[in-house]
């Protein structure tokens, strides 16, 4: 996972020459103060860099060109301290290819009732300056986030912080390679999709490999490396002596080392496996996948590269935050009218970043794939708010579906040999699942207890991907209308 604060967000202030040099000096000083306050905020995960104020179409175009060409710049924040005639912005904004956030703010929080005069009014006029700028963004149909509030308002800073993390994920996605061991699970529809469209829209590139390429690296792992990794398992997890000494666990360690070697050598950020294509591997990779996810790799089972990419992006957004992020699958229901629940899990591959307490390494039979019994981490998840996210290919576009859920306490399940999560979907299971199914959401998801729906909304906006939210306010009749209207909207705008 990339280190925090290696990237930059540029703070860009628009104005014009009309006000004279003295006022412009003040504009620059005020703007620098706001940029520096954002930069110092522990909530904002990257640097905020103050840029000289912009007064002409040429300087605006130059700034946008510079942002496009800068490797470190992942997006710009714009603010119109005074009035900045927005025709000046057309050329620059038309070429800007980084995400932008429009911060509609003011240096002063309160109106100084006793001293306010026309000079004050002329200096502090973002209330109308930002409206002129907002118009051109809308007129040009530009995707952007608009955040309103005083620059020290914690709620406004939180919303900017979310956007900065989404911009990091977008930057990461543009440089993302996904390794795909084997193809899609035979006959499965939702995990398929157009990889050319995906790369054009969502940035990442999917590289297919025969599982033999992976097997070769797994077979080259040395006994010394396996011994070292087994010691690591012993330190990090609970396990019985029998499991610790088993050939199964040694084999799991061999698979993990081979897989990690493969991913590192190819500079991959995410990967997929499929239980239908394991020739030469003795087990379905379980423990290996779980631990690689915990290290920051995205993962999708059964060849699901869209979910693998999504899990990686969600992990980038969540870097350093509390909670965790995992590949997930809606598995089975508890339909008791007193509290309907979804039990989420997978055959093996759930990320221990969402574990409550120390996971246990266990070896059990797997009735699918026809391989030896695989090792896996078993655990439960802490209660609290979470999200499930799916990206599907609708043929003419991608759609992202987010369902807010509440992780609830799970009764003991002594015979269930996999990691699991029990949740209540918003607004309830009946409406939430109906909306999900109408929207076409997959059984596979990216699940996170670290980030909320706003991160995904910002991220989808940056990619230009359709976004629908199923939250506590979801009403099925309205939701169906939204899906129907989006069909028209995306026919016009694509
Ligand atoms: Mn699955």
What are the pLDDT digits (tens) for 438-454?
999 999 999 999 999 99
The pTM for the full model equals 0.97
Q: How far is the CA of 444 from the centre of ligand 1 (A)?
A: 6
**Ligand 1 geometric centre to CA of 390 (Å):** 13
Extract the tokens encoding 366: 């797997």
What is the CA angle 194-73-458, rounded to 5?
Answer: 50
Ligand 1 center to residue 336 CA distance, Å? 25
Could you give the C-alpha distances from 385 to 447, 468, 475, in angstroms and in order?
Answer: 11, 18, 20
Q: How many whole angstroms from its chain centre is CA 120?
A: 42
Cα(228) to centroid of ligand 1, in Å?
31
Give distance in angstroms: CA of 327 to centre of ligand 1: 9
Centre of ligand 1 to C-alpha 210, Å, is 20
Determine the Cα–Cα distance for residues 347 and 289; give it in Å rounded to an integer. Answer: 11
Tokens of 402: 């987010």
Spatial neighbors of 226 by CB under 8 A, at least 6 apart, are 250, 253, 254, 257
Neighbouring-strand partners of residue 289: none
Calculate how far, in angstroms, residue 311's C-alpha sits from the geometric centre of ligand 1: 14
Cα 351 to Cα 360: distance, rounded to the nearest angstrom:
13
Q: What are phi and psi of 81, to 5 degrees?
A: -60, -45
The one-digit pLDDT tens for each residue of the chain (494 residues) are 545 689 999 999 999 999 899 999 999 999 999 999 999 999 999 999 999 999 999 999 999 999 999 999 999 999 999 999 999 999 999 999 999 999 999 999 999 999 999 999 999 999 999 999 999 999 999 999 999 999 999 999 999 999 999 999 999 999 999 999 999 999 999 999 999 999 999 999 999 999 999 999 999 999 999 999 999 999 999 999 999 999 999 999 999 999 999 999 999 999 999 999 999 999 999 999 999 999 999 999 999 999 999 999 999 999 999 999 999 999 999 999 999 999 999 999 999 999 999 999 999 988 777 788 999 999 999 999 999 999 999 999 999 999 999 999 999 999 999 999 999 999 999 999 999 999 999 999 999 999 999 999 999 999 999 999 999 999 999 999 999 999 999 888 75
CA distance 403 to 186: 28
Give percent of the chain with pLDDT exceeding 70: 99
Q: Could you tell me the CA-to-CA distances from 115 to 112, 121, 414, 481 in Å, in that order?
A: 6, 11, 71, 52
Ligand 1 centre distance from Cα of residue 347 (Å): 7
CA dihedral 191, 194, 195, 200 (to 10 degrees): -130
pLDDT value at residue 371: 85
C-alpha pair distances (Å), 412 with each of 226, 236, 337, 339, 415: 33, 23, 20, 17, 9
Q: How far is the CA of 261 from the centre of ligand 1 (A)?
A: 25
pLDDT digits (tens, 9 = 90+) for 234-285: 999 999 999 999 999 999 999 999 999 999 999 999 999 999 999 999 999 9
Q: What is the pLDDT of residue 366?
A: 84
Q: Work out whether strand 420-425 and strand 398-407 pair parallel, antiparallel, or are unpaired.
A: antiparallel
CA distance 229 to 223: 10
pLDDT digits (tens, 9 = 90+) for 131-164: 999 999 999 999 999 999 999 999 999 999 999 9
| 45-56 burial code (b ≥16 CB/10 A, e <16) | bbbbbbbebbbe
Alpha carbon distance 340, 424 (integer Å)? 7
Q: How far is CA 475 from the centre of its chain?
A: 26
The pLDDT, as a whole number, for residue 5 is 84
Q: Where are the alpha helices (DSSP H) in 270-422?
A: 287-294, 305-318
With CA atoms as reference, report the closest residue to 217 among 268, 275, 276, 183. 268
Q: Which residues surround ligand 1, an ion (CB under 5 A)?
A: 301-302, 329
């Amino acid at each position: 996972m990339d280190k925090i604060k290696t990237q930059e967000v540029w703070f860009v202030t628009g104005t014009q020459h009309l006000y004279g040099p003295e006022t412009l000096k003040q504009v620059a000083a005020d703007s620098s103060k706001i940029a520096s306050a954002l930069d110092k905020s522990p909530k904002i995960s990257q640097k905020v860099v103050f840029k000289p104020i912009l007064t002409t179409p040429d300087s605006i175009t130059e700034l946008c060109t510079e942002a496009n060409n800068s490797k470190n710049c992942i997006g710009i924040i714009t603010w119109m301290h005074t009035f900045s005639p927005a025709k000046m912005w057309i050329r620059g904004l038309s070429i800007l290819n980084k995400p932008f956030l429009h911060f509609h703010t003011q240096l002063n929080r309160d109106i100084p009732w006793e001293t306010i005069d026309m000079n004050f009014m002329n200096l502090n006029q973002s209330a109308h300056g930002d409206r002129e700028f907002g118009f051109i963004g809308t007129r040009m149909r530009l995707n952007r986030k608009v955040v309103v509030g005083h620059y020290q308002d914690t709620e406004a800073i939180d919303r900017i912080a979310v956007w900065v993390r989404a911009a990091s994920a977008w930057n990461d996605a543009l440089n993302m390679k996904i390794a795909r061991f084997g193809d899609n699970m035979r006959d499965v529809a939702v995990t398929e999709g157009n990889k050319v469209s995906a790369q054009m829209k969502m940035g990442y590139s999917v590289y297919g490999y025969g599982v033999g390429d992976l097997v070769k690296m797994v077979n080259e792992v040395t006994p010394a490396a396996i011994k070292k990794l087994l010691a690591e398992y012993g330190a990090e997890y609970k396990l019985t002596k029998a499991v610790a000494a088993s050939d199964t666990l040694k084999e799991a360690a061999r698979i993990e080392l081979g897989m990690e070697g493969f991913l590192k050598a190819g500079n991959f950020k995410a990967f997929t496996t499929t239980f239908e294509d394991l020739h030469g591997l003795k087990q379905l990779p379980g423990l290996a996948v779980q631990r690689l996810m915990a290290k920051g790799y995205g993962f999708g089972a059964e060849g699901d590269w869209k979910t693998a990419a999504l899990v990686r992006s969600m992990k980038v957004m969540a870097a350093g935050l509390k909670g965790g992020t995992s590949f997930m699958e809606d598995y089975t229901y508890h339909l008791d009218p007193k509290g309907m629940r979804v039990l989420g899990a997978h055959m093996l591959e759930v990320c221990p970043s969402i574990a409550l307490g120390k996971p246990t390494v266990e070896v059990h039979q797997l009735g699918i794939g026809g391989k030896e019994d695989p090792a896996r981490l078993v655990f439960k998840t802490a209660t609290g708010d979470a999200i499930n996210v799916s990206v599907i290919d609708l043929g003419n576009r991608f759609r992202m579906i987010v369902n807010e859920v509440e992780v609830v306490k799970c009764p003991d399940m002594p015979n269930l040999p996999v990691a699991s999560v029990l949740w209540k979907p918003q607004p309830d299971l009946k409406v939430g699942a109906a909306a999900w199914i109408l929207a076409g959401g997959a059984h596979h998801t990216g699940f996170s207890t670290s980030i909320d729906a706003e991160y995904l909304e910002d991220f989808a906006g940056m990619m230009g991907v359709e976004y629908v939210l199923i939250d506590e306010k979801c009403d099925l009749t309205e939701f169906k209308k939204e899906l129907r209207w989006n069909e028209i909207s995306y026919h016009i705008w694509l």
